[in-house]
Amino acid sequence: MTAPSTSPATAKSTWASRTVVNTLLALVALYTLMPLSWLLVNATKNNGDLFGRPGFRLAEFNLFSNLADLFAYQDGIFGRWLANSMLYSVAGALASTLISLLAGYAFDKYAFRGKEKLYGLVLLGILVPHTVISLPMYLMASQTGLVNTYWAVLVPGLVNPFGVYLARVFAESYVPGETLEAARIDGAGELRTFRSVALPMLSPAFMTIFLFSFTGSWNNFFLPLVMLNDSALYPVGLGLFNWNATLAQEPQFYAFVITGSLLSIVPLAAAFVALQRYWRSGLTAGAVK
C-alpha cells in the first residue's frame, strides 16, 4: 500500500474529477426522480389546473377531493381494482413462493432419476416469452370456462421457474444436509423436516421469491388484458390502461388516471423499500451465478 500522494496538482485534479462524478450522478438522479415528482405534484391538481398551470407549479390543493372523486366513481370501481390487484399479487405470490420453495428444496436435497434433465426444462421455462403462451392459454381457458374468472389470472401466476431456481440456490447455501439428517434421526418425517427445519432456514429465500412474485403479478398486464372482459375483475393497471386509452374522448379522466397511477405505485414501492435487502440478494443470486 502506498500512501496517497498529496501534491497540490493531484489534489486539484481529484477535486475536479470528484465534482464531475457527483454532478453526473446528480443529473441522472434528477432524471430518474423527475417523472415521479411530476406525478406527485399533479395528483394534487384538478382537471382545469392540470392544463392551466405549468407542470411543476403547484395549484389549488385538490389531492383529497381527487381521491374522493376517484373512489366514488362508478360505485367505487377503482377500490375494487386495487383489491383485485392485492388478491392476485398477495395470494398468488404466497402460494407461488411455497410451491417454488418445495420444488427448489427437493431439487437440491434429493437425488432422483432424471433430476437434472427436469431441472434443465425448468430453466428453459424462464426464457419462454409470456406472450407466446398467453394466446393458447386464453383458448385453453375459454374451453374450460375459466376465461373471465379470478382463476384465469391467478393460476398462471403460480408458476415461477425463476423462483424454483432461486430456491435451489438458497437451499444449497442455507440448509446444511447434516441438520436435515439430524432431524430425520430424531424421527421427523420428510414433510415435517421441511416445515419445521428447512423452511425457517429458508426465510430469506421466502422473502426474496415472494417479492419477485409479488412484483411480477402486480406488474402483469398482458395476461389480464387477454383473459378478462369483466371490468369488475380487472387489476388496477388494466383499469387505468382503459381509462388512459379513452382520455381523448373523456378528458375528465385526466385527474383520475394521474391520481390512480400514484396510488397504484404505492404498494409496490412500499414492498421494495421494506424488503430492500431481499431484492438485492435475489438480484445478485440471479445475476452473478
Residue 288: CA count within 13 A, CB half-sphere: 7
Residue 240 engages another protein in binding (rule: CB under 8 A) = yes
Say whether 27 sits in a helix, a strand or coil: helix
E strand or H helix at 254, and its extent? helix 254-274
Which range of residues in 35-43, 59-67, 69-77, 201-209 is near another protein by CB under 8 A? 35-43
Comparing CB distances to another protein, the nearer of 91 and 226 is 226
Q: Which is nearer to another protein, 9 or 248 (CB)?
A: 248
> Segment near another protein (CB under 8 A), from 63-71, 73-81, 138-146, 202-210?
138-146
Question: Is 230 in a helix, a strand, or coil?
Answer: coil
Q: Which amino acid is at 249?
A: Q
Q: Which stretch binds another protein (CB under 8 A): 65-73, 75-83, 107-115, 201-209?
A: 107-115
63 in contact with another protein (CB under 8 A)? no
> Which residue's CB is nearer to another protein, number 207 or number 271?
271
Distance CA 22, CA 29 (A): 10
Cβ burial of 44 (10 Å; 0-12, 13-18, 19+) is: buried
**The binder of another protein chosen from 68, 72, 83, 128 (CB under 8 A):** 128
Contact status: 241 vs another protein (CB under 8 A): yes
Question: By CB under 8 A, is residue 90 in contact with another protein?
Answer: no
Nearer to another protein, 75 or 93 (CB): 93
Q: d(Cα 194, Cα 206) in Å, to the nearest integer?
A: 13
The single residue among 218, 234, 256, 278 that binds another protein, judged by CB under 8 A, is 218
Q: What is the Cα–Cα distance from 82 to 235, expressed in whole angstroms?
A: 7
Instruction: Give CA–CA dist 134/222, Å, rounded.
Output: 8
Nearer to another protein, 77 or 95 (CB): 95
Is residue 189 at the binding interface for another protein, with CB under 8 A as the rule? Answer: yes
Three cell numbers, residue 27: 443529473
